[in-house]
Structure 1
Amino acid sequence: MHGMTRSLRAPLLLLALTLALASAGCGTERAGAPGDDGGKLHATADPTPAPDPRPSVDRSQLEARARYMQSAIELIRVTDLPGFAVAPQSVGVLGDDGFHSVYVTPRGTTQIELAVERGTLTANTCPDTPVDGTGGRVACEKDGAAWYRVSGQLHEYARPEDGHVVRLTARRDTVDRATLRRAASAARPADDAELDALLPRNIPTAPVERGDLPPVGDGAPNNSVPEGASG
């Protein structure tokens, strides 16, 4: 009996050791989060969002620059279209306080005009509202929230919004309808960083004085003032 006990003791000890090791292994696996490789521990993600790498811009300064350009800041739009970028010299006011810019390819051979003006566009007014501002009847087709409009060599997407219309216009032989539609769908209000890039930077802080005007009254300019004199 004692011999049998001694003969069983070694296998039992081996079994106990195996179970202990297996239990320890399971504990290590449970310590890992679901989906971790092999139960490896990972650092907890920081819930704090990463800071915006773009520098902050003074909103009041942006508004002053927009006023100097004579565009209402809420009407300034941008779009996202791979292969196109804004031509800086094209940025400016349209009409009373609208906005205008032109997106071009690197060589400038392909252009898409972005324009925003106050007003609206309906099924009744669409055919009689020129695409290029010079006249000519327009073929109109409703496409979602926008109108697809064709006149001569030009076509455009015009999207009426709250009291204004956003238009993306291009030549039919250089920009296809699908590309124009993508540009129109991506058009959105410019954020502060985009406004900072679009708006004029060097604005005068005081009215420019003219030396050729008389000091009093509203008489004619004084042409005897030497060229370049400031008064």
Structure 2
Amino acid sequence: MTRAVRALPTLLLAAALLTGCGTERAGSEASGTPADQAELASRAKALGIAPELVYATGAPGFTLARQSVGVQGDDGFSAAYTDRTGAVIHLYTDRPRTAGRHEYEVTKKDCVVWLEGEGGVSGAVLGKALRAVHRPTAGELDTLLPAPDPEFTDGEPVRRGDLPTNGDGGPPDNSVPTPGL
């Protein structure tokens, strides 16, 4: 009887802690306020991505690899999420007319989103990530689509300053070396 009385507070505390867990789905739109659409459009267009094709996802243990964000096809979106073991979940979006059929695919408004895994990503993890596909939240926007540097958005190419104005400064050498000479 004494053991049961001592164990009761621990069990009640564990039950209270567990009821608070899992109430917010990873990567769901409920986990944050939607991103400002004008800001999302500005950032996406700077990368050549159609704003309506930008989506995010979430899977336990996976984080966005920021350097992976880019264009898919003509104006679609792609990103990769990695875990500590080196496994990768690739997220791709495109317009329905250009996208093929994929095992882990979902249609959203005017867009097809599909996921591919590598490095041992299980079908169960891809399924969870597919169910978590959503439009980016305000909190995700800075990571997913960083604000463009105003210095590089004027439409002009970057001037290096260390290159001559005409060619590379020397004639091309197209000769082929002769062996043994």
Q: TM-score range by the shorter chain?
A: 0.5 to 0.7
Distance 1:120 1:160, change over 3 A: farther
Q: Specify which of 54, 71, 74 is matched with residue 96 of structure 1.
A: 74
Report the equivalent of 2:95.
118
The alignment yields a C-alpha RMSD, in angstroms, of 3.3
Question: Within the alignment, does 1:72 sit opposite 2:19 as a pair?
Answer: no
Q: Report the Cα offset of residue 163 of structure 1.
A: 2.8
Identity among equivalent positions (%) equals: 33
Equivalent position SS for 2:70: coil
Question: Within the alignment, does 1:200 sit opposite 2:146 as a pair?
Answer: yes
Q: Report the Cα offset of residue 59 of structure 1.
A: 5.0
Counterpart mapping for 1:1-231 below 5 A: 59-107=37-85, 109-119=86-96, 126=101, 149=103, 157-171=104-118, 174-201=120-147, 202-203=149-150, 204-208=152-156, 223=166
Q: When the two structures are superposed, what TM-score results if normalisation uses the length of structure 1?
A: 0.49
Q: Is the 8 A contact 1:95 1:117 kept in 2?
A: yes
Q: Report the Cα offset of residue 89 of structure 1.
A: 0.6
Q: Is the 8 A contact 1:91 1:99 kept in 2?
A: yes
Q: Is the 8 A contact 1:120 1:161 kept in 2?
A: no
Distance 1:225 1:104, change over 3 A: closer
Report the equivalent of 2:172.
none
Q: Is the 8 A contact 1:97 1:117 kept in 2?
A: yes
Name the CA distance, whole Å, in 1 between partners of 2:108 and 2:114. Answer: 11
Gapped runs of 5+ residues in structure 2?
A: 1-31, 160-164, 170-181
Gapped runs of 5+ residues in structure 1?
A: 1-53, 132-148, 150-156, 212-221, 227-231
Name the CA distance, whole Å, in 2 between partners of 1:225 and 1:121. Answer: 41
Stretches of 4+ aligned residues off by more than 6 angstroms: 54-58
Q: How many pairs are equivalent?
A: 133
The one-letter amino acid paired with 2:154 is A
- Could you say which structure has the larger radius of gyration? 1
